[in-house]
């Protein structure tokens, strides 16, 4: 176990919900709702009724082949139909579905009807390109409406999408693309980032040299950047051309509840990222229910989740959750501090954002500017503030509560993972809150903190966070690797899902997340495997061996500290350090933030495995005599 679990839980402050928040909430009493959720089948079946099914399920949960659980057996449903089509027959037809804003202040709005037409055209175009049900379409796009349209178009025709985060670079891109065996890639001429345009087309061109399965590349002209267009006849086509003349009608594919929906890659302890596979019915039920109850979404809300669509937060809560609830989702392309650190507050004021969901790292970053920018804007429309991705320390929590929320609105720290698909541990707006705690498992979910054998640990003691019962939006397997799915998540502690986080519980049953228990780093809320970073290091000619650990950082949470053994003839001088940082960035992308590189003669190892534990202990100045 990595994080320090000997420190006592000394946070004793408790904050009661505001009367108005509770009065307006879908769930007025969180404890009663948790009670209701104890009968998971009854609870989730009731929630599933909120969606439009072509054919109802005849069994809620099938546990006959554990851990390959199935939900809503024989139910037939379509995601795009539920997220878009069904609203155009209601008074939401002309309601804004997507409000796109970027750092340059450009803005674009798509109503549900406009989104409907665009998705249908894209769906028809994909069919014309030969995409069939069950096949995978890859996307490497900025936060832009076309990404949402492309994802929905896939779900409409039963194709899977695999979105690669636009901040990942060539090496990371190639690995994911080849594993997914996608035939089509949708990319763009660029994305805006801090006043510059990052040429995504160029990165994808380089990556595609190593991706033999891609037959067609669709290019969105998003920034008007001057890009190179290849003359490989027929291989590249502009998005706008592709949609030309396509009919704005497309019948939704009747998907089985258990048909695959998408693959999303995430980092684990090995060098290769894992393809997390989500399926249709349960995912839709889990994501829409959690968003509705945890962020208390109503028809007149303006929802803003800053999570990039390239990660699960964006899939579930920037795109699918809000559209399944028929609300407006704000999609912002850019950094929180460009052109200045008041950007986000200005957007909240301008559009009257009511519910805001972001990452602790962004909060810590903006906190550093105090009230300087904040005071320039009126953000009193906010009703709920939430975070995800890493622990929200109590200082950041208090800043949100006092300075941003004026002690009026709930701070919702949600715990979940790419694998879980939906929020699993989180307060509801009617809950009593403790700064720094993620509260309890949400209704319909059961969590525990246990030792290696699966026995619950005493109050206040650190243990492994596990989920004890299946939940609807759970991933169903690792793409093309059922064995690893069992081995990594279900075999270590029999009968339960091991999240690979260390946590503790206090006397009131509140859960406090300590951090990962495996060799996965959380850099600015992004998940990155130490092994991936190490492979990137050793792929540089100067490095013969490398080991990396996380080093704590006040804003990013963790950054990389690398220990490298250099090949003969190389010296770790400024030039090489710069080159190594550049190289790792090229392989993995800007997510791999390197804080320090140290040259060593040897690395601590047992049977060929690097003992990062030893490096960490050494770094923290701990006693190593027991090793
Ligand atoms: C890991 C999952 C799910 C969207 C973003 C991350 C950490 C997540 C919290 C939280 C403390 C958290 C865990 C988890 N994490 N939320 N509220 N408090 N830690 O998804 O990339 O799959 O990462 O993020 O360590 O295992 P992900």
Residue 411 in contact with residue 23, Cβ under 8 Å?
no
* CA-CA-CA-CA torsion sign (31, 34, 38, 44): positive
The minimum-distance atom of ligand 1 relative to the CA of 513 is 11
Quote the ligand 1 centre to 363 CA distance (angstroms): 16
Which whole number is the average pLDDT over 451-472?
Answer: 96
Residue 147 in contact with residue 141, Cβ under 8 Å?
yes
Confidence of residue 272 (pLDDT cuts 50, 70, 90): confident
pLDDT at 6: 46
Question: What percentage of the chain carries pLDDT values higher than 90?
Answer: 89
Q: Could you report the per-residue pLDDT of 286-298, keeping only the tens digit for each?
A: 999 999 999 999 9
pLDDT at 228: 78
The minimum-distance atom of ligand 1 relative to the CA of 515 is 25
Instruction: Give the end-to-end CA distance of the chain in Å, rounded to a whole number.
Output: 15
Locate the DSSP E strands across 520-556.
520-523, 526-529, 543-553
Residue 274 in contact with residue 312, Cβ under 8 Å?
no
Structure tokens of 129?
A: 């390109």
Least confident of 239-248, 373-382, 517-526: 517-526
The preferred substitution site among 527, 529, 550 for testing ligand 1, maximizing ligand atoms within 8 Å of CB, is: 527
Quote the ligand 1 centre to 360 CA distance (angstroms): 11
Cα 416 to chain center, whole Å?
Answer: 9
Quote the ligand 1 centre to 416 CA distance (angstroms): 5
In sequence order, what are the beta bridge partners of 184? 137, 216
Q: Whose CA is nearest to atom 6 of ligand 1?
A: 389
Q: Whose CA is nearest to atom 12 of ligand 1?
A: 390
- Round the average pLDDT of the chain to a whole number and report it: 94
Which whole number is the average pLDDT over 504-523?
Answer: 93
Verify whether ligand 1 is closer than 6 Å to residue 513 (CB atom). Answer: yes
pLDDT at 2: 58
Q: Which of 324, 307, 217 is nearest to 261 (CA)?
A: 324
Give the CA angle between residues 496, 499, 503 to the nearest 5°.
105
Verify whether ligand 1 is closer than 6 Å to residue 524 (CB atom). Answer: no
pLDDT at 624: 64
Residue 548 reports pLDDT greater than 70: yes
Quote the ligand 1 centre to 390 CA distance (angstroms): 5
pLDDT at 606: 76
pLDDT at 618: 85
The minimum-distance atom of ligand 1 relative to the CA of 312 is 4
Structure tokens of 542?
A: 């100067």
Verify whether ligand 1 is closer than 6 Å to residue 391 (CB atom). Answer: yes
Confidence of residue 627 (pLDDT cuts 50, 70, 90): low
Q: Is 79 helix (H, G, I), strand (E, B) or coil?
A: helix
Return the axis-axis angle of helices 170-180 and 200-208, rounded to nearest 10°.
60
Verify whether ligand 1 is closer than 6 Å to residue 415 (CB atom). Answer: yes
Residue 26 reports pLDDT greater than 90: yes
Q: Which of 147, 216, 212, 219 is nearest to 174 (CA)?
A: 212
Give the DSSP per-residue string, 222-257.
Answer: -S--------STTTEEEHHHHHTT--S--PPP-EET
Give the CA angle between residues 410, 414, 415 to the nearest 5°.
160
Which whole number is the average pLDDT over 499-517?
Answer: 94
Confidence of residue 328 (pLDDT cuts 50, 70, 90): very high
Verify whether ligand 1 is closer than 6 Å to residue 264 (CB atom). Answer: no
Give the CA angle between residues 253, 161, 344 to the nearest 5°.
115
Quote the ligand 1 centre to 112 CA distance (angstroms): 31
Confidence of residue 1 (pLDDT cuts 50, 70, 90): low
Residue 485 reports pLDDT greater than 90: yes
Quote the ligand 1 centre to 352 CA distance (angstroms): 28
Verify whether ligand 1 is closer than 6 Å to residue 418 (CB atom). Answer: yes
Distance in angstroms (rounded) separating the CA atoms of residues 564 and 574: 15
Verify whether ligand 1 is closer than 6 Å to residue 423 (CB atom). Answer: no
Confidence of residue 3 (pLDDT cuts 50, 70, 90): low
Which whole number is the average pLDDT over 169-192?
Answer: 94
Quote the ligand 1 centre to 389 CA distance (angstroms): 4
Looking at residue 358, what DSSP letter applies? E
Q: Could you report the per-residue pLDDT of 529-544, keeping only the tens digit for each?
A: 998 999 999 999 999 9
Confidence of residue 617 (pLDDT cuts 50, 70, 90): confident
Residue 290 in contact with residue 105, Cβ under 8 Å?
no
Distance in angstroms (rounded) separating the CA atoms of residues 576 and 580: 6
Verify whether ligand 1 is closer than 6 Å to residue 499 (CB atom). Answer: yes
Verify whether ligand 1 is closer than 6 Å to residue 416 (CB atom). Answer: yes
Confidence of residue 268 (pLDDT cuts 50, 70, 90): confident
Q: Could you report the per-residue pLDDT of 40-60, keeping only the tens digit for each?
A: 999 999 999 999 999 999 999
pLDDT at 4: 52
Task: Residue count of the chain, please give it.
Answer: 627
Which whole number is the average pLDDT over 334-349?
Answer: 96
Q: Is 209 helix (H, G, I), strand (E, B) or coil?
A: coil
Residue 371 reports pLDDT greater than 60: yes
Residue 232 reports pLDDT greater than 80: no
Verify whether ligand 1 is closer than 6 Å to residue 310 (CB atom). Answer: no
Q: Whose CA is nearest to atom 20 of ligand 1?
A: 417
Verify whether ligand 1 is closer than 6 Å to residue 317 (CB atom). Answer: no
Confidence of residue 7 (pLDDT cuts 50, 70, 90): very low
Question: What percentage of the chain carries pLDDT values higher than 70?
Answer: 97
HSE of 156 in the Cβ direction (CA atoms, 13 Å)?
A: 30
Q: Whose CA is nearest to atom 3 of ligand 1?
A: 417
Least confident of 88-102, 216-230, 275-289: 216-230
Distance in angstroms (rounded) separating the CA atoms of residues 26 and 488: 37
The preferred substitution site among 286, 314, 415, 502 for testing ligand 1, maximizing ligand atoms within 8 Å of CB, is: 415
Quote the ligand 1 centre to 570 CA distance (angstroms): 38
Residue 132 reports pLDDT greater than 60: yes
The preferred substitution site among 264, 363, 390, 421 for testing ligand 1, maximizing ligand atoms within 8 Å of CB, is: 390
Verify whether ligand 1 is closer than 6 Å to residue 318 (CB atom). Answer: no
Cβ neighbours for 83, distance < 8 A, ≥ 6 positions apart = 152, 155, 320, 323, 324
Quote the ligand 1 centre to 388 CA distance (angstroms): 6
Verify whether ligand 1 is closer than 6 Å to residue 438 (CB atom). Answer: yes
Structure tokens of 565?
A: 């053994």
């Amino acid at each position: 176990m990595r994080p320090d679990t000997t420190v006592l839980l000394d946070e004793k402050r408790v904050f009661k919900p505001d009367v108005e928040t509770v009065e307006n909430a879908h769930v007025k009493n969180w404890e009663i709702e948790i009670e209701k959720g104890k009968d998971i089948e009854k609870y989730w079946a009731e929630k599933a009724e909120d969606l439009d099914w072509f054919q109802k399920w005849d069994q809620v949960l099938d546990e006959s082949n554990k851990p390959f659980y199935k939900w809503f057996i024989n139910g037939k449903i379509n995601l795009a139909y539920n997220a878009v089509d069904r609203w155009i027959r209601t008074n939401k037809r002309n309601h804004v579905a997507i409000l796109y804003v970027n750092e340059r202040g450009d803005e674009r709005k798509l109503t549900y009807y406009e989104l409907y037409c665009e998705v249908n055209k894209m769906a028809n175009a994909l069919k014309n390109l030969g995409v069939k049900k069950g096949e995978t379409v890859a996307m490497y796009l900025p936060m832009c409406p076309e990404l949402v349209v492309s994802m929905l178009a896939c779900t409409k025709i039963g194709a899977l999408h695999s979105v690669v985060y636009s901040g990942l670079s060539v090496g990371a891109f190639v690995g994911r693309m080849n594993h997914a065996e996608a035939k089509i890639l949708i990319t763009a001429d660029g994305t805006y980032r801090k006043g510059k345009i990052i040429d995504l087309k160029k990165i994808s061109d380089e990556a595609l040299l190593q991706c033999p399965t891609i037959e067609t590349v669709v290019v969105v002209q998003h920034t008007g950047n001057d890009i190179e267009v290849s003359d490989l006849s027929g291989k590249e086509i502009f998005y706008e051309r592709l949609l030309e003349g396509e009919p704005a009608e497309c019948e939704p594919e009747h998907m089985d509840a258990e048909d695959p929906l998408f693959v999303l890659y995430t980092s684990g302890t090995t060098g290769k990222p894992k393809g997390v596979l989500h399926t249709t019915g349960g995912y839709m039920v889990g994501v829409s229910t959690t968003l509705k109850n945890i962020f208390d979404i109503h028809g007149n809300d303006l929802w803003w989740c800053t999570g990039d669509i390239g990660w699960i937060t964006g899939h579930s809560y920037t795109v699918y959750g809000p559209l399944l609830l028929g609300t407006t989702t704000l999609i912002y392309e850019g950094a929180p501090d460009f052109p200045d650190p008041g950007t986000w507050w200005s957007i909240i004021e301008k559009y009257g954002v009511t519910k805001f969901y972001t990452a602790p790292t962004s909060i810590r970053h903006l906190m550093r500017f105090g009230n300087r920018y904040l005071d320039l804007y009126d953000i009193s429309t906010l009703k709920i503030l939430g975070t995800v991705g890493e622990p929200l320390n109590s200082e950041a929590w208090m800043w949100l509560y006092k300075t941003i929320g004026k002690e009026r609105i709930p701070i919702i720290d949600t715990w979940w993972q790419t694998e879980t698909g939906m929020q699993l541990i989180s307060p509801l707006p009617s809950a009593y809150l403790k700064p720094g705690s993620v509260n309890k498992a949400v209704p319909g979910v059961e969590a525990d903190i246990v030792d290696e054998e699966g026995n619950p640990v005493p109050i206040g003691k650190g243990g492994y966070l596990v989920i004890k019962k299946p939940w609807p939006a759970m991933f169903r397997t690792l793409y093309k690797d059922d064995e690893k799915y069992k081995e990594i998540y279900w075999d270590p502690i029999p009968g339960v899902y091991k999240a690979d986080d260390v946590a503790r519980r206090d006397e009131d049953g509140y859960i406090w997340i300590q951090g990962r228990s495996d060799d996965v780093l959380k850099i600015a809320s992004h998940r990155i495997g130490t092994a991936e970073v190490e492979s990137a290091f050793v792929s540089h000619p100067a490095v013969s061996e490398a080991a990396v650990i996380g080093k704590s950082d006040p804003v990013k949470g963790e950054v990389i500290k690398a220990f490298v053994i250099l090949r003969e003839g190389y010296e770790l001088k400024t030039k090489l350090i710069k080159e190594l940082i550049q190289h790792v960035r090229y392989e993995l992308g800007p997510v791999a933030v390197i804080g320090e590189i140290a040259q060593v003669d040897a690395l601590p190892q047992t049977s060929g495995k690097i003992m990062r534990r030893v490096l960490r202990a050494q770094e923290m100045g701990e006693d190593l005599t027991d090793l």
